[in-house]
Amino acid sequence: MSKARSAPLWSSETFSAATGVESVQSWQASGVHVDSRDVYEGDLFIALSGANNNGHKFVAQALANGAVAAVVSAPPEGISTNDRRLIYVPDTYEALCQMAVYARGRSNAQVIGVTGSVGKTSVVQALRQCLWAEDGVHASIRSFNNHVGVPLSLVRMPPACRYGVFELGMSAAGEIDKLVAMVKPDVSVVTTVGAAHLQAFDTIDAIARAKSEIFAHTKAGGTAIIGLDHDQYEIVTHAATLSDLGIIGVTAASVKGATVKALSVKQTPFCTCMTADIDGTCVTYKIAQPGKPWILNSLMILATIKAVGGDLGYAALRLAALTVEKGRGGLHHLRFNGENITLIDDSYNANPVSMKAAFERLALLPRVKNARVFAVLGDMSELGVGAQASHENLSCEAVKASIDKIFTFGPFTALMARQAGIPFEEVSDIQGFPARLKHYLREGDIILIKGSNSTGLGYVADAIGYLSNPLDYSTMQEMSAYGPDYWPISAE
């Protein structure tokens, strides 16, 4: 067992120190959950009240699953109000946040905060794989990046781990400021700024300022790692300067002033090979993921690892074996009725930047004779009054990808397909669609699945995998235990 796991994650004593609330009985917990379905023997359960559900309904189930205690603010259903395992607090969410602040305060880890319009989750999960420490690396899982996900990730951080990596998302101004006040990063990363969440902002400049909130609570003397490959980089850089941080500029596009940059790049359909200048250190490496976004992502990752004093050689080796999170562009080889099919599962989320990147990646893939390319596309959400234009502006990228047919889930992707002049079919029956798609397929066909999480295309990707006889595809669990029927964990 690593040093990071040699002591209990939480106990009745540390909970009391964090919240000021005493437990009726002594306990120790090895994990913390807000979803009863995730609870195992020895965990602590916190009953949150979400927009669509109330965790107090599931306290009895959490205790039956083995929770050592449950934090509640009201008598739960199906259990005695005097049960000694219940810990009554005025507000369970406030208790979670108090625990998060305590967890950050007791930790000597070097903490990294990551935000940006695109690439946050990819960078966080790659850092988890590429950092090495005997006493542990802790990172946000899935896309735990919002008002619930960030404090939950903090309370799960082992007291003795060496590195903590946290994703910070937002859908409105001021949200990152509240989150980063808990995280207090030593190193803050802004990957890029683009037209995501324009529904809540007047301009992309306003999005840049909201992303720059990450610097307000970065530790004094800390480091800001800033992607420069967008028009708003000066806004972000200025904000970091005001917070008196050391600034490392990163570019995959030869922006002047960058100290981390690509020197040579070779893209293939299945990987990317690079030589880069990482703030004065030359590193040659391979990324086990194709596509232009991974050029910048890898530079951000290596810049961050150097900033925290990590092992660049180890990180470069790990990039060659990098795996991506579910729904984040994984390439899967499937078989249907003896026919070989390629699936790109990029179903987790979409905005104009990531949709363009998905089309560019699709164009890289080799195609066998008579094979076709299908795109299963869901509307990009939270784009406000510019939603139609944002979709239609991507039509030329869809044309470049040589797509034979688009299956659209939403009116705006239908407009995109019509603008591109690509045959398309509007789909309303998401449940029946995977089985119907199966009958379209023949040898060598390629399927791209891409859309905002709210469109539910993760189900389509899972169902296609389930219906296939996979060569290297493992049918995955549900997109997230925290879907639309529960409170949101991901802000983006």
CB-based contact 312:278 (threshold 8 Å):
yes
Nearest to 173 by CA among 199, 206, 195: 206
Q: What is the pLDDT of residues 187-197, one digit of tens each?
A: 999 999 988 76
Strands (E), 279-432: 281-287, 330-336, 339-346, 373-378, 405-409, 424-426
Confidence of residue 6 (pLDDT cuts 50, 70, 90): low
For residue 345, tell me if it sits in a domain: yes
Confidence of residue 479 (pLDDT cuts 50, 70, 90): very low
Judgement on whether residues 39 and 162 belong to the same structural domain of the protein: no
Alpha helices per DSSP H over 156-292: 175-183, 204-211, 233-242
Q: Report pLDDT for 477.
A: 35
Looking at residue 135, its amino acid is D
For residue 122, tell me if it sits in a domain: yes
Mean pLDDT of the chain: 91
Judgement on whether residues 240 and 289 belong to the same structural domain of the protein: yes
Confidence of residue 469 (pLDDT cuts 50, 70, 90): low
Judgement on whether residues 65 and 114 belong to the same structural domain of the protein: no
Q: Report pLDDT for 178.
A: 96
In angstroms, the CA 381 to CA 303 distance is: 31
CATH number of the domain to which 438 belongs? 3.90.190.20
Judgement on whether residues 167 and 113 belong to the same structural domain of the protein: yes
CATH number of the domain to which 206 belongs? 3.40.1190.10
Q: Is 32 helix (H, G, I), strand (E, B) or coil?
A: strand
Judgement on whether residues 93 and 215 belong to the same structural domain of the protein: no
Judgement on whether residues 254 and 387 belong to the same structural domain of the protein: no
User: Last residue of a domain, which of 319, 353, 371?
Assistant: 319
Residues in a beta bridge with 70 = 45, 86
The count of structural domains within the chain is 3
Judgement on whether residues 123 and 237 belong to the same structural domain of the protein: yes
The boundaries of the domain holding residue 266 are 107-319
Angle at 169 between CA 168 and CA 171, to 5 degrees: 155
Judgement on whether residues 179 and 123 belong to the same structural domain of the protein: yes
For residue 483, tell me if it sits in a domain: no
> In this structure, what token pair is assigned to residue 351?
């905005």
Q: Report pLDDT for 492.
A: 47
Region 377-389: mean pLDDT is 91
- pTM metric for this prediction: 0.86
Burial of 371-406, coded b for 16+ CB within 10 Å and e otherwise, reads: bbbbbbbbbbbbbeeebeebbebbbebbeebebeeb
Q: Which residues, 6+ apart, have CB-to-CB distance to 331 below 8 Å? A: 270, 290, 342, 343, 344
Judgement on whether residues 307 and 284 belong to the same structural domain of the protein: yes
Judgement on whether residues 34 and 71 belong to the same structural domain of the protein: yes
Give the number of C-alpha atoms closer than 13 A to the C-alpha of residue 334, restricted to the C-beta side. Answer: 27
Q: What is the pLDDT of residues 314-373, one digit of tens each?
A: 999 999 999 988 888 888 889 887 889 999 999 988 989 899 999 999 998 998 899 999
For residue 485, tell me if it sits in a domain: no
Confidence of residue 475 (pLDDT cuts 50, 70, 90): very low
Q: If you ran DSSP here, which 8-state letter would residue 476 be given?
A: P
Region 399-412: mean pLDDT is 96
With a cut of 60, say whether residue 310 has pLDDT above it.
yes
Residues in a beta bridge with 333 = 342
In angstroms, the CA 103 to CA 93 distance is: 15
Tell me how crowded residue 369 is: count the other CB atoms within 10 A of its CB.
6
Q: What is the DSSP string of 399-458?
A: HHTT-SEEEEESHHHHHHHHHHT--EEE---TTTHHHHHHTT--TT-EEEEE--GGG-HH
For residue 259, tell me if it sits in a domain: yes
Confidence of residue 491 (pLDDT cuts 50, 70, 90): very low
In angstroms, the CA 207 to CA 209 distance is: 5
With a cut of 90, say whether residue 202 has pLDDT above it.
no
Judgement on whether residues 336 and 436 belong to the same structural domain of the protein: yes
For residue 253, tell me if it sits in a domain: yes
Judgement on whether residues 132 and 217 belong to the same structural domain of the protein: yes
